[in-house]
Amino acid sequence: MEFKGKTILVTGAGRGIGAAIARAFAQEGATVVVNYLQDAAAATTVVDACKQMGGDAWAIQADVTSEPAVRSMVEQVLVETGKIDVLVNNAFAAYSFDPDQRTMFWELAWADYQRQLDGALRSTYNVCQAVLPHFRKRGQGSIINMVSDLVERPSVPYHDYTTAKSALIGFGRNLAAELGPLGIRVNSVAPGLVYPTAASRQTKEEVKDMITAQTPLRRIATPEDVAGPVLFLASDWSRFMTGQTLFVDGGLVMK
Position 199 scores a pLDDT of 66
Q: Which residues pair with 188 in a beta bridge?
A: 145, 245
Other Cβ atoms within 10 Å of 87 Cβ, number: 29
- State the virtual CA torsion across 206, 169, 189, 49 in degrees, nearest 10: -100
pTM (2 d.p.): 0.95
Peptide bond into 196 cis (omega under 30): yes
Position 208 scores a pLDDT of 81
The CA–CA distances, whole Å, from 243 to 82, 184, 192 equal: 27, 11, 19
For residue 222, tell me if it sits in a domain.
Answer: yes
Q: Please measure the distance between the N-terminal and C-terminal CA atoms of the chain and give it in whole angstroms.
A: 26
Local structure of 109: helix, strand or coil: coil
For residue 253, tell me if it sits in a domain.
Answer: no
CB contact at 8 A, 54 and 114: no
For residue 57, tell me if it sits in a domain.
Answer: yes
Position 200 scores a pLDDT of 65
Assign residue 80 the CATH number of its domain.
3.40.50.720
Q: Which of 36, 95, 125, 161 is flagged as catalytic?
A: 161
Position 15 scores a pLDDT of 93
Starting at the earlier edge strand, list the strands of the sheet with 245-248. Answer: 56-61, 31-36, 7-10, 86-89, 141-146, 184-191, 245-248
CB contact at 8 A, 147 and 247: no
Position 100 scores a pLDDT of 82
For residue 75, tell me if it sits in a domain.
Answer: yes
Position 202 scores a pLDDT of 66
Decide if 161 is catalytic. Answer: yes
Question: Can you give the pLDDT of all 255 residues of the chain as single tens digits?
Answer: 689 999 999 999 999 999 999 999 999 999 999 999 999 999 999 999 999 999 999 999 999 999 999 999 999 999 999 999 999 999 999 888 888 888 999 999 999 999 999 999 999 999 999 999 999 999 999 999 999 999 999 988 999 999 999 999 999 999 999 999 999 999 999 999 887 776 666 677 778 888 899 999 999 999 999 999 999 999 999 999 999 999 999 999 998
Query: How would DSSP label each residue in 182-222?
Result: GTEEEEEEEE--BSSSTTTTT--HHHHHHHHHHSTT-SPBP
For residue 204, tell me if it sits in a domain.
Answer: yes
For residue 1, tell me if it sits in a domain.
Answer: no
Domain holding 95, by residue range, is 7-248
Number of domains in the chain: 1
Contacts of 184 (CB under 8 A, 6+ apart): 132, 135, 136, 140, 141, 142, 143
For residue 29, tell me if it sits in a domain.
Answer: yes
Query: How would DSSP label each residue in 4-18?
Result: TT-EEEETT-SSHHH
Contacts of 13 (CB under 8 A, 6+ apart): 19, 21, 22, 32, 34, 35, 36, 43, 46, 88, 90
Contacts of 51 (CB under 8 A, 6+ apart): 26, 57
For residue 255, tell me if it sits in a domain.
Answer: no
Position 207 scores a pLDDT of 80
